[in-house]
Structure 1
Amino acid sequence: MIFPATLVDLAGFIALLLWGTHMVQTGVQRAFGPRLKTILGHAMANRGRAFLAGLGVTTLLQSSTATGLMVTGFAAGGLVALVPALSAMLGANVGSTLIVQVLSLDIAALSPALILVGVLMFRRDSSTQTHDLGRVLIGLGLMLLALHQLIDLMHDYDDAPSLRLLMGSIVTLPLLAVLIGAGLTWAAHSSVAVVLLVMSMAANGVVPPNAAFALVLGANLGTAINPLLEGATAGDPTARRVPLGNLLTRLAGIAVALAALGPIGRFMVTLQPDDALAVAYFHTLFNLSTAVLFFPLLGPLARLLCRLLPDQKAPADPSRPLYLDPAAKETPIVALGGAARETLRLADALEAMLAGARDGLRSGDRRLIAETRRGDDVLDRLNLAIRAYLTSIDTEELGPHDLRRMEEILAFAMNIEQAGDIIDRQLLPHASKRAKRGLSIPREQEDELIALMDRLIGNLRTAASLFMTEDPRAARLLADEKVAFRDAEARATRLNVTRLRAGPQLAMQANALYLDLLRDMKQINSHIVAAAAYPVLERSGALLTSRVAGAGR
């Protein structure tokens, strides 16, 4: 073989291994992701259950990074304590070794059968879950095929002088091997793939056992570095506690393992003469030993992390996103959850604008009205950040349920932002006009305006709750609120016509202003209803295509 051609083959088989790993992860996430997230959240009551939950979820997801993102989100949101979160990460690290143990067995002959069955399941349109499980089987088949081809390819070059020279330098410098393993894992975003690659190299004698063990230590380091680096841009320091704690435990374990690499290497070779299996056993033993060592020390570690990364004070800039974690985009179910939490902040910002508009209407305070208008800038920036975040997610990794949820988040954010535009550009200028011109609205009409503003705030809170629960009954109640604002506008229109016929000019201006304010509120309410109620009603078949009689039949 020509060396450049072989290099292309090597890169291609490594890419195939990475792609197979990716297919397994995305398939499991699509099939079981939301349920796994719920199970993980409920199981983290104490460190023992959290350890088992982290182990089990990671075994299914085949990604300790995905589990770590879920755990980090729970801990940052205050849903679980830091100690169970750190315990779940210890379990996740052990869980990531189980697939390596399975793939270390001589089951390459199963690759064609797995791919065949996977394709048949993948092409079935009747069941989404069957489709996703087919993706998992295809991914496993591709991983086995890639490993088999890598072993055959490296067998032809295990005596290459240049390769031997490079491996010789790694043998004499175990720290260099750790750094190489960490770099490969950081680039590949998969410790499983790198460990499997090291196993194939060890099986052909390309790397001696101790160098292979050092590369595995590097793979464990690389998979802990990734979440911390990608979460470095997170505004809340509490979101970095779990990945930092996981990195510290890995660093401590790697330091001990490097110091005793000679005796450990001799023990592993004696325990398992097969070099490839010895690498797999070392990978599992390292993570088990680290978990046993740090399990009783999680309390002091949690206190240290809290001192290093103290709770952040209330953010000075309300338009800065808090939950759009860049690292979570690799795990769509986590990314969508963060986007949904951020979208609820839009509802909070709009409620603050409505409350300011209500108080401004009542008091005529033009300074308060001006301050309230600045809330629209918060809505615009948050909405832009949410849209940019969601559109950067790879839609090919999203199942039908996830795609629908993404569309609902975008629709909710857009309608809430447009409701804020109406407050900023129409309702508040009308309120300011009233204060500037000294227009006096009759007490009865003013009370009605204030009551409708309170009703808008109540509808907005219902919409925010409905956005999370998706309850069809609440959706119907919210949609029915349009009737109240429609009736109020009709009454005001009739009254305005009556006063146009007879009445002082100032009274007619005040009544026209009253009608403008009602129409502004009706438009705001329409956007609130469209943000949360319409998607639920449309999905349940309870939304008509038109209000015109006979339309849509």
Structure 2
Amino acid sequence: MTHLLNLLAAIALLVWGTHIVRTGMLRVFGENLRGVLAKSFGSRPAALLAGLGVTSLVQSATATCLIVASFVGKGLVPTAAALAVMLGADVGTALMAVVFSFDLSWLSPLLIFVGVVMFIARQASGAGRVGRVLIGLGLITLALQLIVAATRPMTESPAVRALLAALPNEVLLDIVVGAVLTVLSYSSLAIVLLTATLASQGLLPTQAALGLVIGANLGSGLLAIIATSGDSPQVRRLPLGNLLFKTMGAVVAVPLLGQVHVGLQQFVPTVAEQVVVFHLGFNLCLAVLFIGLTGVVARVVERWLPTPAHGAGGHRTSHLDPVALATPSLAISCAAREALHQADVVETMLRGVLPVLRDNDLVLAERLRQMDDTVDQLYSAIKFYLTQISREALSERESRRWTDIVSFTINMEQIGDCTERVLIDIEDKKIRKQRSFSEAGMAEVVHLHERLLSNLRLGMSVFLDGHVRDAQKLLEEKARFRDLEHEYAANHIARLQDNTAQSIETSSLHLDLLSELKRINSHICSIAYPILESKGALSATRLRASQLADLDDIQP
């Protein structure tokens, strides 16, 4: 019983080590890995090599598949090029299995020691994240040693040998078991290494081990299918196409397992090496055979999973992709895109204020006020999504972006609330009482409204691009808008002194409207503060004169 518990613990440590390395690599190189993949879709060979290189780092073809599938889902890359990346990704995972099959017992304590020192000393820095990766690599090599130690007593047990000898020699059963184990462990690499170790200890016949390897490859394809099951058809195309490649490869390989086994025995000395070499050869053959068929398979999966008609069912697809949470840099981008959609809804609300004011349109006012519920729902969804992203997994730049998104969505939510109050005031104080503004007063409101929309578009640009010059311009607009609000309020008071009837009737609404528009503009201009602060252009209370000499007279 003790030996079995030791084996289970060693297997768990192997799976955990691969998880640490995978997540650690994504945290260290996540944004750069996305950049490498994004730039590699020009040709099929380049895409294949990029997939190989990235997956060799993250040690998970599934993680690479999820990253690239998100690109496909957003229309950034064609399905055919993404399938070429996945062929390379599977080769990359197989190469890492070859590396870990060597005797690395001397390396394990060194990696763990150095990794722990780096992680503890510089936990929040890039060095700390690299230390985490080294710990994971050390745990993988340590787990392989523990598996060998735990299985040695079992191999010497007559009862275990008799049990293994009685097992049916069914390749299809081996494939199913390998696929199930891979899905349960979330790592084909761990299952292949485990299979190689058990086969080397005599606990698995080599033929059965080869079947388990094929199953592990199919299991990795199933993992991506399961992980993207709730996503759009565009996202699901890549995992489906990749699984098709693996399935076709398995169909070809199964009848040839006997000859392959004989060939491996002639050219590869040990059983463990035979298993990992077969794993590598299987994926290399897939890459060679199917690199020219990526276009055909892409068309097939696009036919099976067609793009739904825009707006089908009355629902839009959210950018808050839960799969992207495994890649922090990608998740940040998803949250930013959803925040821009929230801003689009807010802009629609603001644009509708003027037609309601001019045309006394109660139906439009009601529809616009209901849109504030959408703004609130988007704010809650984005906020919850961002809280699911580990701050420790973010680089310094990504952490600032995280804060920018939170600030932006808060401002948009408050603008939505202000706009709803404005619409309610217009309904209660103007439309239902059948009152109207003076011609001069209406012109002033129209002017402020136009500047407000212009500033909102500028604020969205600042949020999207982070240009300091645009952020400075936005703060300049804050001061100008405030001056205009003061001027127009004074003009309204002058019209009251002249006993202008329309101004007297709408005085409360007019002044409240000017005040609310200024408040909305202040929320828009707040978008600039995080950008300027990150560039060192803000002091605690005002713009630094040394940085922004042309804004000396402007208070934030």
Output the TM-score relative to the length of structure 2: 0.91
Report deviation, 1:107: 1.7
Aligned partner letter, 1:239: V
- Residues 1:63 and 1:402: Cα distance change in structure 2 (over 3 Å): farther
**Cα offset, 1:283, TM superposition:** 0.9
* Distance across 1 between alignment mates of 2:167 and 2:469: 65
- 1:229 corresponds to which of 226, 231, 238: 226
Counterpart for residue 65 of structure 1: 62
Cα 1:454–1:278 change in 2 (3 A) is farther
Q: In the TM superposition, what is the alpha-carbon distance from 1:124 to its structure 2 partner?
A: 3.9
Contact 2:422 2:513 in 1 (8 A): yes
Residue 230 of structure 1 contacts residue 326 of structure 1 at CA under 8 Å; is this kept in 2?
no
User: Equivalent residues in 2 for 1:298-377 (5 A)?
Assistant: 298-316=294-312, 320-377=316-373
In structure 1, C-alpha distance between the alignment counterparts of 2:124 and 2:342, rounded to whole Å: 36
The secondary structure found in structure 1 opposite 2:42 is: coil
Pairwise CA distance, 1:310: 1.0
Alpha carbons 1:478, 1:529 under 8 Å: kept = yes
Deviation for aligned residue 1:488: 2.6
Query: Residues 451 and 247 (structure 1 numbering): CA distance in 2 closer, same or farther, change over 3 Å?
Result: farther
Q: Distance in 2 between matches of 1:458 and 1:47?
A: 44
Residues 440, 30 of structure 1: CA spacing in aligned structure 2 closer, same or farther, 3 A cutoff? same
- Residue 484 of structure 1 aligns with an amino acid whose one-letter code is R
Shift in Å at residue 176 of structure 1? 2.0
Query: CA shift at 1:473, angstroms?
Result: 2.0
After superposition, the Cα gap between the structure-2 partners of 1:72 and 1:437, relative to the gap in structure 1 and judged at 3 Å, is: same
Partner residue of 1:533?
A: 528
**359, 365, 379: which is aligned to 2:375?**
379
Instruction: Quote the offset at 1:502 in angstroms.
Output: 5.9
Task: Look up the equivalent residue of 1:449 and give its one-letter code.
Answer: V
Distance 1:166 1:311 in 2: 51
Change (3 A) 1:168 1:499: farther
Two-structure CA RMSD over aligned residues (Å): 2.6
- Tell whether the 8 Å contact from 1:231 to 1:326 is kept in structure 2 after alignment: no
**What amino acid maps onto 2:230 in structure 1?**
T
Q: Map of 1:55-204 to 2, 5 A cutoff?
A: 55-125=52-122, 128-160=125-157, 163-164=160-161, 167-168=164-165, 172-204=169-201
Which stretch has the larger CA shift, 177-186 or 121-130?
121-130
Larger deviation, residues 126-135 vs 55-64: 126-135
Distance 1:259 1:322, change over 3 A: farther
Q: Once the 2 structures are TM-superposed, how far is the Cα of residue 394 of structure 1 from its aligned partner?
A: 4.2
Q: Compute the displacement of 1:200 (Å).
A: 1.3
Choose 497-506 or 515-524, whichever is displaced more: 497-506
> TM-score scaled by structure 1?
0.92
Shift of residue 87, structure 1, vs aligned partner = 0.6
Quick one: structure 1 residues 414 and 160, their matched pair in 2 at CA, closer, same or farther if it must change by over 3 Å? farther
Change (3 A) 1:515 1:383: same
Residue 285 (str. 1) matches residue 285 (str. 2): no
Compute the displacement of 1:541 (Å): 2.5
Matched to 1:536, the amino acid is: I
Residue in structure 2 matched with residue 391 of structure 1 by the alignment: 387
Matching residue of 1:472 = 468
* Aligned residue number for residue 425 of structure 2: 430
- Once residues 260 and 413 of structure 1 are traced to their aligned partners in structure 2, the CA distance between those partners, rounded to angstroms, is 58
Q: Does 1:408 align with 2:404?
A: yes
Q: Which runs of 5+ in 2 are unaligned?
A: 545-556
Q: For this pair of structures, how many residues does the alignment match?
A: 545
Query: SS at 2:154's partner residue?
Result: coil
Q: For 1:548 and 1:117, how far apart are their aligned partners in 2?
A: 45
Greater shift in the superposed pair: 123-132 or 277-286: 123-132
The CA distance in 2 between the partners of 1:32 and 1:237, in whole Å, is: 28
Residue 17 (structure 1) aligns with:
14
**For the residues of structure 1 that align with 2:223 and 2:505, how far apart are their CA atoms?**
63
2:43 maps to a residue whose letter is N
Q: Is the 8 A contact 2:124 2:392 kept in 1?
A: no
CA–CA separation in structure 2 for the residues paired with 1:176 and 1:265? 18
Name the amino acid aligned to 2:6: D
Deviations 1:184-233 (A, max 9, x none): 22122211112111121112111111111111112111211122212111
Shift of 1:463: 2.6
Structure 2 residue identity aligned to 1:452: L
1:170 to partner: Cα distance: 5.7
* Residue of structure 1 in register with 2:453 after alignment: 457
**Which deviates the most, 447-456 or 45-54?**
447-456
Cα displacement string for residues 70-92 of structure 1 (whole angstroms, at most 9, x for unaligned residues): 21122121211121111111111
**Mean CA deviation greater in 317-326 or 225-234:** 317-326
Distance change >3 Å, CA 466–CA 203, structure 1 → 2:
farther
